[in-house]
Amino acid sequence: MVKNPVTAFAISKSYLIAASGVNVYALSLSSGGLLHESTSASSSIIRYVKINEGEEAKHVVACGDDKKLLVWRLSESGLEELDSRELPKKPTCLQLTAKGQKILVADKFGDVFSYPLLPPEQPSTSTPSTQKGGHASSHGTLILGHTSILTELILVERENRPFIVTADRDEHIRISRYPQGFIVHRYCLGSTRFVSSLCDLGNGQLLSGGGEDVLRVWEWDSGECLRTIDVGSSVKPSIVVRRTLSGGEDEEDGRDKKKKKPKGASTKIEASPSVQTEPTLVIRRISKVLVDSKSWIIFGAVGATALFYFPWQKSSQGQSPIETISFALPVLDFIALHDGRLLVSLDSNHAAKEEEPSLQLLKWEQEKLVKQENDSTIQKLENRVRSYDGPSIGDQYELLSTLPKFSIEGQPADGVEDDVMMGVDLGGRSGEKREARQKLREALSRTQGVEETGPSKKAKLDEKEDDDPMDGDGVES
């Protein structure tokens, strides 16, 4: 059994990065060697990892439950820790800009902050910043803010102009200019439950998934939902990890009113004699993969023992059925390798046998995904992850509890706006958040259906951005 299976992957031209517990592993895709592991920088589970492979240097960025933003330099000699910064709130998403010089972090407070890859050097006589929230000490710049937990962010482009797309727990998808995040270009509205995953399809289209039984295809420039793709009937039978409401939990919001969970404790989600919810659908990751000149959409769901895929078609005519490849264990993450194969991480804590592998390679045969024996490179990573002898840390399925809004029966309910259900510390500002939500709804209702066309308005916005001294990475040009 692997106590801390791989929770996140990242890939570049030359390297594969895997996060497992507090460890980060780097593998060379060219030589097949396990370069290095870093075990001392993080004190809790690492949930997000990215890699930037530039011409001069390669950097790995990670963050997790301890709210530390970690940066390493990657070279043939291994991983060299360059920086560790404290984030003000628990992160929920991590991205790097195209040039790799800016780190974008979304958090549970609903904000997106931009951080330089490496903080500027401070004079030795300078005093530490005491600004509330720690943004100044981390050299973060606020890009935008939502009034709910942010669940996903990606970067897209139109005519070489960058935009940042953000999704939240209150069913919103927002398209904002980057780095001028205060300029809202469009909202993609129509989702009936939280949105937890986004995928840029190219050609101005976006694919979203979350708590609904469908994936939605959007034209993000106009905010129009082009069509929906039913996935609920294919995914839900594979969800084996359930959230349960025990006797100590409140039936309305599913929280334990009697005991407060110690900081850093793991919530094990499994079947029990207490009230058990129906399968909770949380789409975890959506990827578009090109295989032999044909595009495929591959996605997973939290607590599901399968991956799901279908060929991508721009039109809605003759939508192909959802294909499934099943495993004995729940899928934690997956990533597409450069040759089209997939690497899948499995939660071996649910394994019945000690020797059950936590990593599985998949290959394509006649347009079907099939299992392949792990090669020597992946086996090296499996052996290293398996050899970790520390305690199990982190909750692999916390999204099943933090994203859905539960009704009295303990089932996901739409439109619930109780701040207590948010599952996030509002820092004494719950009243402000509630008021902000109401103002946002009123503003959206006034603008719903109104196109942002007006030549004078568009010209003014274009002129405003053209005059902005910041380039696409938020750096003065």
Q: How confident is the model at residue 70 (pLDDT cuts 50, 70, 90)?
A: very high
User: For the residues 264-281, what does the mean pLDDT come to?
Assistant: 55
- Residues 80-90 as b/e (b if ≥16 CB within 10 A, e otherwise) read eeebebebbbb
The pLDDT value given to residue 245: 56
Dist. CA 102–CA 99, nearest whole Å: 8
Dist. CA 267–CA 270, nearest whole Å: 10
User: For the residues 16-22, what does the mean pLDDT come to?
Assistant: 92
The pLDDT value given to residue 406: 61
Dist. CA 297–CA 369, nearest whole Å: 12
Dist. CA 285–CA 165, nearest whole Å: 15
Tell which wins on pLDDT, 269 or 201. Answer: 201
Per-residue pLDDT of 179-199, as tens digits, reads 999 999 999 999 999 999 999
Note the pTM of the prediction, 2 decimals: 0.80
Of 13-27, 71-85, 107-121, 453-467, where does mean pLDDT reach its minimum? 453-467
Contacts with 210 (C-beta within 8 Å, 6 or more apart), sequence order: 151, 167, 191, 193, 194, 195, 196, 197, 282, 283, 403
Residues 205 and 226: beta-carbon distance below 8 Å: yes
The pLDDT value given to residue 258: 43
Instruction: Write out the CATH class of domain 6-119+137-245+279-403.
Output: mainly beta
Query: Token digits for 239?
Result: 């969800």
Per-residue pLDDT of 378-388, as tens digits, reads 998 998 888 87
CA 274 to chain centre: 31
The pLDDT value given to residue 408: 41
Q: How confident is the model at residue 134 (pLDDT cuts 50, 70, 90)?
A: very low
Tell me, what amino acid is at 76? E
Q: Report the chain's mean pLDDT, rounded to a whole number.
A: 80
Dist. CA 190–CA 374, nearest whole Å: 42
Nearest to 90 by CA among 111, 61, 75: 111
Using the predicted structure, report yes or no on whether residue 200 has a pLDDT greater than 90.
yes
The pLDDT value given to residue 421: 34
Parallel, antiparallel or unpaired: strands 173-177 and 15-20:
unpaired
Cβ count near 48 (within 10 Å):
20
The pLDDT value given to residue 183: 96
The pLDDT value given to residue 41: 63
Q: Which element (helix H / strand E) includes 275? A: strand 275-276
User: For the residues 142-163, what does the mean pLDDT come to?
Assistant: 95
Query: Which residue do the tokens 């930037």 mark?
Result: 52
Dist. CA 128–CA 137, nearest whole Å: 7
Dist. CA 60–CA 8, nearest whole Å: 13
The pLDDT value given to residue 161: 94
CA 338 to chain centre: 21
The pLDDT value given to residue 273: 43
Per-residue pLDDT of 429-474, as tens digits, reads 445 555 665 666 666 565 554 444 444 444 444 444 444 433 444 4
Per-residue pLDDT of 138-148, as tens digits, reads 779 999 999 99
Dist. CA 243–CA 241, nearest whole Å: 7
Contacts with 436 (C-beta within 8 Å, 6 or more apart), sequence order: 147
Tell which wins on pLDDT, 165 or 460. Answer: 165
Of 48-57, 104-113, 335-344, 456-465, where does mean pLDDT reach its minimum? 456-465
Residues 59 and 117: beta-carbon distance below 8 Å: yes
Query: Token digits for 433?
Result: 């958040």
CA 461 to chain centre: 30
DSSP class of residue 262 equals P
User: For the residues 83-97, what does the mean pLDDT come to?
Assistant: 94
User: For the residues 393-404, what does the mean pLDDT come to?
Assistant: 88
Q: What percent of the chain has pLDDT over 90?
A: 53
Dist. CA 192–CA 404, nearest whole Å: 12
